């Protein structure tokens, strides 16, 4: 059974940083592109960063230059380093394969940017 567990969220002031982690169990990790998604209440979930199995990265324009996605295939873990956080980055953050598989959504981790 595949399980994705996100962690690392929290409350941070504008301009601050957080590092999110997503630990994957099961056999999905090494062969798939992985992504970080975010969703605000009442809005659609959006893909903000993705990384291929070979390490190629793509970012949404809204986070380009501020967020960095990385993966450790030996640990079955994908990370999202978030710098220069702004209030508009406040969302629940989730990881999943790209494109996402419905059954893989985890609980997510909440990021709140506020002074």
Residues 104-115 have pLDDT tens digits of 999 999 999 999
- DSSP 8-state symbol, 42: T
For residue 112, give every residue at least 6 positions away whose Cβ sits within 8 Å of its Cβ, in sequence order, or none.
9, 10, 11, 12, 90
Residues 10-26 have pLDDT tens digits of 999 999 999 999 999 86
User: Which residues on neighbouring strands pair with residue 93, listed in sequence order?
Assistant: 38, 109
Reference 104, options 9, 4, 5; nearest CA is 4
Whether the pLDDT of residue 80 is over 90: the answer is yes
């Amino acid at each position: 059974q595949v399980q994705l567990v996100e962690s690392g969220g929290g409350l941070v002031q504008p301009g601050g940083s957080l590092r999110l982690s997503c630990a994957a169990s099961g056999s999905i990790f090494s062969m798939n592109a992985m992504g970080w998604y975010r969703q605000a209440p009442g809005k659609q979930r959006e893909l903000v960063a993705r990384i291929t199995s070979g390490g190629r990265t793509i970012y949404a324009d809204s986070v380009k230059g501020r967020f960095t996605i990385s993966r450790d295939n030996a640990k079955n873990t994908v990370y999202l380093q978030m710098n220069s956080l702004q209030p508009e980055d406040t969302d629940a953050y989730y990881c999943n394969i790209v494109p996402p598989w419905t059954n893989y959504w985890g609980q997510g981790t909440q990021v709140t940017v506020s002074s």
